[in-house]
Amino acid sequence: MVYQKTSQPGSCCPVDRRGGDFRVLANVLATRGINDFNQAKSFFRPEINDLHNPFLMKGMSEAVDRIERAIKANENILIYGDYDVDGTTAVTLVYDYLSRNYEQIGYYIPDRYKEGYGISDAGVDFAIDNSFSLVISLDCGIKETDKISRAKENGVDFIVCDHHTVGERIPDAIILNPKQDGCNYPFKELSGCGVGFKLVQAVSQVRGETLTEIENLLDLVMVSIGADVVSMTNENRILTFFGLEILNKKTSVGFQ
């Protein structure tokens, strides 16, 4: 935002109507922490290519390798999510993408009243009894050290995709969580579904696909951002902008 001073002697305020409007706008942006031209440009015109590289997230390479190894070995993969909007949109997103070309895949959403929040004993039993050897947990799992250890002892590996605050102990699993120690991912306020999207973005990138292959999933991320009331800044603003476009232009059967 360039504000041009008037050359009138003794004047410190804009006399030109247009100049005055720009100063109001610049003030509004500045109070939101937007302090230069490029920040203002990406605020008004989000670019999908400004999404961060998913491999900046700690654990991402290991997570992608584990998924591709599971697919090559024909392992059963279970997509496990929380029962709220963030969790169910995350399960839908990851299940939708991975099941496009892989059939040995299932999903599990715990009963809110019988099993409660997080990884349940019933959920771990379900994975063991049905020969799932890889569970991808979404929007939950970061504090479930005991249940994930029990799964591991029974041959079930976990990839935990979470955005909740990390506790003192972390589970014996591959962890994707921008809030964990040592994670240099540049944006910490993703939703749980947003973390799931970054995992899908990474798998898709390694497969040599472009963002157009996965942008139709952004309606789910957008709804999770709104429902989980995470900060509408940075990458969340880009995800929401393009998610709203998908919702309006190519409404999925689910959202219809």
162 counts as binding Mn ion under rule CB under 5 A = no
- Candidates 67, 70, 86, 175; binder of Mn ion (CB under 5 A) is 86
Work out which of 157, 162, 219, 228 binds Mn ion, going by CB under 5 A. 228
Question: Is residue 192 close enough to count as binding Mn ion by CB under 5 A?
Answer: yes
Place of tokens 């540049």: 186
CB of 75 or CB of 139, closer to Mn ion:
139
Helix (H) or strand (E) holding 38: helix 37-44
E-strand ranges in the chain read 76-81, 105-108, 132-138, 157-161, 174-176
Cβ proximity to Mn ion, 34 vs 161, nearer residue: 161
Only one of the segments 22-30, 67-75, 82-90, 149-157 lies at the binding site for Mn ion (rule: CB under 5 A); that segment is: 82-90
Nearer to Mn ion, 86 or 235 (CB): 86
Q: How far apart are CA 65 and CA 146, in angstroms?
A: 24
Task: Please provide the DSSP assignment of 229-245 as one string.
Answer: T---SHHHHHHHHHHHH
Residues 100-139 that bind Mn ion (CB under 5 A): 139
* In the complex, minimum distance from the CB of residue 32 to Mn ion, in angstroms, rounded to a whole number: 24
Rg (CA), the chain: 22
Q: By CB under 5 A, how many residues form the interface with Mn ion?
A: 4
Cβ proximity of 188 and 234 under 8 Å? no
Give contact residues for Mn ion (rule: CB under 5 A): 86, 139, 192, 228
